[in-house]
């Protein structure tokens, strides 16, 4: 990690963003009740308590995805990272947590660290996760059993690795979108937003 | 083991003893070999010694043997002790072994007990297992029942749906029927109307017929009258003859009649005329009313007209006051429109003028800037000129100096010339003079040059001044133009300006439109982006193959399949159960719910129910029959014995006689515990003291007492 340094490198940025995704996914899964709350454990990170899953299968899946994502972040080939929540009964997409990633590709050539402290970045990340937690107040309740999937929008020229395959964008029919906060490591800028299915009553 | 040990001990002991025995003689030998003194003595002594020695030896030997024996005894003792010890040890071991054996036996017993307990537990468990299996079977049965109920409910639902469909069809049919009936109803009503009309016609005809009949009867009456009259006339005929004489007078009378008829006609005419006139009068009155109304209206109209005229006059006045051609409101509106148009055009003019003013101001500012530039230039030029002037003055001063120098030099030369001989120094002097003159010439040339430069500079300044003036003039002219432009502007430029302005406005509007469109498109793009849309040319969407969604979906699929299988299995089971007898075989085949399913067939239940109903019905009938019979029996008893018997309370009977004088006169009997009847005291029984004493106390016969009472009462009634 670059925590001892003043600035931030591409590698450190990729790691920070991947870490953010790991925690963000965990807290979304906890907040939205995709997995039962008793399978989560409390962890203090970013100076706040976060929920981490203890489900071995889910853990394995998340580490797989996040490590691959970290590689892509390092290569600056990721455009979007999306968490899709699907209703199991109707196979309908109910929620889409989208994280647009703007990569500063010039960081690949210039290896000099950027002038931004880890502390400020983590502050930004914390506020994003707080907002994710707060979105529960306006998102419609998930009444049916749901499952989630993680989509990664990458550059077209990327080699598809083993265990990965192409997928549809899983767009919600008739959705409401809410933009959330964003944060930047000065190499990767992450804009977060959530789109959810508009209910008839609303 | 022990034996071997013992042997080793013994052997070691033996060897030890042998060792001891062996070691002893050499010692003695060494003692004996010490002193050989005199031979005799020595011999004697030796003999003595030998004897003594032998004695000693034998003693020794004895001692030795004794010792040996002792040792042997000791060893024997030791051995015995050892043996005893070993024996005790072995005994102890044996005891130990026995104890252990007992322990083991105890343990075996315990284990046996445990085994029995375990067996008991096993049996208990088996029983529990059996009960659980029963429970399970019961639950299965319940489940099946529920399934059957579900199926039945489903069937009922489907049947209800069918019913609903049928009902809907019925409703439709009924609707159509209703519509047809309404149509029929209408037809019937039409027919009814026709019938009514006919009926009316018929009734009219009836009325006419009745009228005809009445007229007919009248006619008959008339005929009769006429016949009577004829008879009268015949009677009168004679009278007529008498009258004939009077007939002569008839013409006169006829004349009179004619006259009177004429008069009558005239009067009738006059009456008709009178009615006509009346009608006319009525008509005229109405006309009058109408005319009065019209007059009122006319007055109103006139008032209105005056008002309108005033208004018109006001309008005209407005027209006159404003000096415009306003006669009507249209004119005014037209005028207003014109004014608005003029205003618009004026506004446009104003705008154009403003723009012109702005442009002129701009040009003015430019000119000002130019002017300031020119002024600065002029200042520069002036400065230059001043510098030149200074230069000129300096040069003039130098010229003066040079001329003075020259004069001085000439004076010096002249003084030299005068002082010295011209031949000695003349060439030198002339040379120097020439040089000086050349210098002078040069300075003069330089001076001239400088003067030329000065003039040039002056000329330049003059031209600059001229330029300045022209520029100022230009500025003034521009200012004037500006001023004039404010007042009036040439039409050509105006048109051009307006066209350009229009163009600019159009372009501005288009720009705004495009901007809006751009904004909209950007927003749409943003929205699409938010919704997760992507450019398939540049981007591809990837996801992990074994993601939770697909896993969950697969799991779900498997669950669904498993449930479906179960449902089909259960459905089969249910069907087999419904089939009844065949179920047993199927159950045996499936082997899942063996022997536990023995639902009573519904037929049996129905039979039982029927039986129960029939038995209840029989009961009911029997009750009715009994009641009837009891009633009959009671009435018969009453009629035959003359007593009505009622059971008031348990074991108490009230008897009321047919011939009782009062309704309350009754006898109360109580049945004793041994079956005997006893008379209870009542108001009525108090009056029968004698009979009670005679029949009950004396004869002890209740029927006799009752008969006596009956007879008594009967005799009382008949005597009365």
Q: How many C-beta neighbours within 10 Å does residue B385 have?
A: 18
Instruction: Determine which of A70-74, B176-180, B463-467, B484-488 has the lowest per-residue pLDDT on average.
Output: B484-488
Joined together, the tokens standing for residue B48 give: 């003595």
Indicate yes or no: CB of B552 within 8 angstroms of CB of A88: yes
Identify the pLDDT of residue B589: 47
State pLDDT tens for residues B655-710.
888 888 887 788 888 888 787 888 888 888 888 888 888 888 888 888 888 888 88
CB A45 within 8 A of CB A23: yes
pTM, entire model: 0.35
CB B680 within 8 A of CB B668: yes
| CA B488-B493-B499 angle, 5° bins | 120
Torsional class of B700: left (φ above 0), alpha (ψ -120 to 50), beta (otherwise): left
Identify the pLDDT of residue B298: 93
Of residues A82, A96, A147, nearest to B552 (C-beta): A147
Within 8 A by CB and 6+ apart from A59, the residues are A53
CA distance A80 to A154: 7
Identify the pLDDT of residue B699: 84
Q: Is the dihedral of CA B178, B180, B186, B191 positive or negative?
A: negative
Confidence band of B299 (pLDDT split at 50, 70, 90): very high
Indicate yes or no: CB of A98 within 8 angstroms of CB of B545: no
**Chain A residue closest to B547 (CA)?**
A149
CA distance B498 to B491: 10
CA distance A132 to A179: 11
State pLDDT tens for residues A67-95.
999 999 888 888 889 999 998 888 888 99
Q: How many C-beta neighbours within 10 Å does residue A18 have?
A: 22
Set of chain B residues whose Cβ sits within 8 Å of the Cβ of A90 = none
Residue whose entry in the numeric block shows the structure tokens 């083993």: A162
- Dihedrals φ, ψ of A95, to 5°? -145, 150
CA distance A199 to A141: 10
- Rounded to 10 degrees, the C-alpha dihedral B222/B226/B228/B231 comes to 180
CA distance B638 to B631: 10
**Chain B residue closest to A175 (CA)?**
B531
Of residues A88, A160, A171, nearest to B542 (C-beta): A160
**Chain B residue closest to A177 (CA)?**
B530
CB A148 within 8 A of CB A29: yes
Indicate yes or no: CB of A166 within 8 angstroms of CB of B541: yes
**Chain A residue closest to B534 (CA)?**
A169
Indicate yes or no: CB of A96 within 8 angstroms of CB of B539: no
Indicate yes or no: CB of B552 within 8 angstroms of CB of A65: no
Joined together, the tokens standing for residue B198 give: 């006919």
Indicate yes or no: CB of A154 within 8 angstroms of CB of B543: no
State pLDDT tens for residues B673-683.
787 888 888 88
Write A48-53 long-range contacts (CB < 8 A, 24+): A48/A126, A48/A129, A48/A130, A50/A23, A50/A26, A50/A129, A51/A26, A51/A27, A52/A23, A52/A26, A53/A26, A53/A29
- Dihedrals φ, ψ of A150, to 5°? -115, 125
Q: Counting beta carbons within 10 angstroms of the beta carbon of residue A183, is it exposed (0 to 12), middle (13 to 18) or buried (19 or more)?
A: buried
Within 8 A by CB and 6+ apart from B458, the residues are B385, B388
Q: State yes or no: pLDDT of B627 exceeds 90.
A: yes
CB A126 within 8 A of CB A24: no
Identify the pLDDT of residue B322: 66
State pLDDT tens for residues B302-339.
999 999 999 888 877 776 776 656 566 677 788 888 88
Of residues A61, A84, A156, nearest to B538 (C-beta): A156
Is the CB of residue A173 less than 8 Å away from at least one CB of chain B? no
Within 8 A by CB and 6+ apart from B352, the residues are B489, B494, B497, B498, B501
Identify the pLDDT of residue B602: 73
Identify the pLDDT of residue B586: 46
Q: How many C-beta neighbours within 10 Å does residue B34 have?
A: 6
Identify the pLDDT of residue A141: 87
Within 8 A by CB and 6+ apart from B178, the residues are none
């Amino acid at each position: 990690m670059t925590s001892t340094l003043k600035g931030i490198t591409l590698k450190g940025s990729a790691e920070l963003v991947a870490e953010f995704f790991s925690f963000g996914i965990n807290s979304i899964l906890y907040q939205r009740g995709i997995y039962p709350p008793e399978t989560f454990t409390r962890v203090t990170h970013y100076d706040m308590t976060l929920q981490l899953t203890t489900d071995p299968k889910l853990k394995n899946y998340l580490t797989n995805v996040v490590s691959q994502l970290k590689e892509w972040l390092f290569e600056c080939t990721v455009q979007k990272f999306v968490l899709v929540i699907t209703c199991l009964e109707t196979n309908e997409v109910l929620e889409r947590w989208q994280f647009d990633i703007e990569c500063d590709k010039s960081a690949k050539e210039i290896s000099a660290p950027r002038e931004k402290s880890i502390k400020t970045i983590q502050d930004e990340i914390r506020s994003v996760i707080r907002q994710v937690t707060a979105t529960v107040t306006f998102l419609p309740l998930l009444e049916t059993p749901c499952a989630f999937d993680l989509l990664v929008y990458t550059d077209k020229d990327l080699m598809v690795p083993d265990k990965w395959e192409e997928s549809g964008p899983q767009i919600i029919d008739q959705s409401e979108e809410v933009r959330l906060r964003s944060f930047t490591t000065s190499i990767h800028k992450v804009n977060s937003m959530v789109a959810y299915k508009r209910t008839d009553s609303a | 083991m022990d034996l071997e040990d013992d042997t080793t001990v013994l052997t070691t002991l033996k060897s030890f003893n042998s060792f001891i025995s062996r070691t002893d003689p050499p010692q003695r030998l060494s003692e004996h070999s010490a002193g050989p003194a005199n031979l005799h003595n020595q011999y004697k002594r030796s003999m003595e010694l030998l004897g003594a020695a032998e004695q000693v030896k034998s003693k020794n030997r004895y001692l030795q043997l004794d010792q040996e024996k002792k040792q042997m005894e000791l060893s024997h003792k030791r051995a015995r002790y050892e043996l005893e010890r070993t024996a005790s040890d072995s005994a102890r071991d044996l005891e130990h072994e026995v104890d252990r054996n007992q322990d083991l036996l105890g343990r075996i017993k315990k284990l046996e007990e445990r085994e029995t307990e375990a067996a008991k537990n096993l049996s208990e468990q088996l029983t529990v297992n059996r009960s659980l299996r029963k429970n399970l079977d019961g639950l299965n049965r319940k489940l099946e029942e529920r399934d059957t109920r579900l199926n039945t409910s489903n069937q009922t639902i489907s049947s209800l749906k069918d019913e609903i469909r049928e009902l809907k069809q019925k409703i439709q049919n009924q609707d159509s029927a209703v519509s047809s009936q309404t149509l029929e109803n209408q037809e019937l009503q039409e027919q009814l109307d026709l019938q009514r009309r006919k009926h009316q016609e018929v009734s009219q005809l009836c009325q006419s017929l009745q009228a005809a009949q009445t007229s007919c009867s009248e006619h008959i009456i008339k005929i009769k009258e006429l016949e009577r009259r004829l008879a009268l006339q015949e009677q009168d005929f004679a009278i007529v003859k008498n009258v004939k004489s009077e007939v002569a007078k008839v013409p006169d009378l006829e004349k009179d009649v004619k006259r009177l008829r004429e008069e009558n006609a005239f009067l009738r005419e006059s009456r008709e005329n009178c009615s006509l006139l009346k009608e006319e009068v009525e008509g005229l009155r109405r006309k009058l009313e109408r005319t009065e109304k019209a007059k009122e209206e006319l007055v109103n109209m006139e008032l209105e007209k005056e008002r309108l005229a005033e208004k018109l006059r006001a309008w005209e006045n407005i027209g006159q006051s404003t000096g415009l051609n306003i006669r009507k409101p249209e004119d005014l509106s037209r005028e207003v429109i014109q004014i608005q148009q003029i205003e618009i055009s004026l506004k446009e003019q104003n705008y154009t003028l403003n723009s012109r003013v702005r442009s002129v101001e701009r040009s003015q500012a430019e000119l000002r800037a130019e002017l300031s530039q020119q002024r600065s230039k002029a200042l520069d030029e002036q400065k230059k000129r001043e510098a030149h002037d200074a230069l000129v003055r300096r040069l003039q001063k130098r010229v003066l100096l040079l001329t003075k120098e020259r004069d001085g030099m000439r004076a010096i030369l002249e003084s030299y010339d005068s002082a010295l001989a011209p031949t000695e120094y003349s060439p030198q002097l002339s040379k120097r003079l020439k040089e000086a003159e050349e210098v002078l010439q040069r300075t003069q040339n330089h001076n001239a040059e400088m003067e030329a430069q000065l003039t040039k500079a002056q000329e330049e300044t003059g031209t600059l001044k001229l330029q300045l003036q022209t520029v100022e003039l230009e500025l003034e002219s521009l200012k004037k133009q500006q001023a004039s432009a404010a007042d009036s502007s040439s039409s050509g430029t105006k048109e051009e300006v307006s066209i350009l302005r229009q163009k600019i406005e159009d372009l501005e509007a288009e720009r705004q439109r495009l901007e809006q469109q751009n904004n909209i498109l950007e927003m749409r793009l943003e929205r699409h982006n938010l919704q997760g849309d992507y450019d398939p040319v540049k981007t591809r969407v990837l996801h992990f193959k074994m993601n939770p969604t697909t896993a969950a979906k697969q799991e779900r699929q498997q669950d669904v399949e498993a449930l479906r299988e179960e449902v089909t299995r259960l459905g089969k089971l249910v069907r087999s159960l419904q089939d009844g007898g065949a179920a047993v075989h199927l159950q045996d085949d499936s082997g899942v719910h063996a022997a536990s399913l023995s639902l009573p067939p519904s037929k049996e239940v129905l039979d039982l129910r029927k039986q129960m109903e029939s038995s209840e019905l029989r009961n009911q009938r029997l009750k009715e029959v009994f009641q009837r019979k009891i009633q009959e029996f009671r009435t018969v008893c009453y009629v035959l014995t003359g007593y009505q018997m009622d059971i008031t309370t348990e074991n108490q009977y009230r008897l009321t006689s047919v011939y009782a004088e009062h309704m309350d006169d009754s006898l109360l009997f109580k049945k004793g515990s041994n079956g005997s009847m006893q008379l209870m005291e009542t108001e009525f029984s108090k009056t029968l003291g004698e009979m009670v004493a005679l029949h009950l106390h004396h004869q002890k016969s209740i029927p006799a007492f009752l008969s006596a009472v009956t007879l008594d009462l009967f005799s009382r009634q008949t005597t009365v």
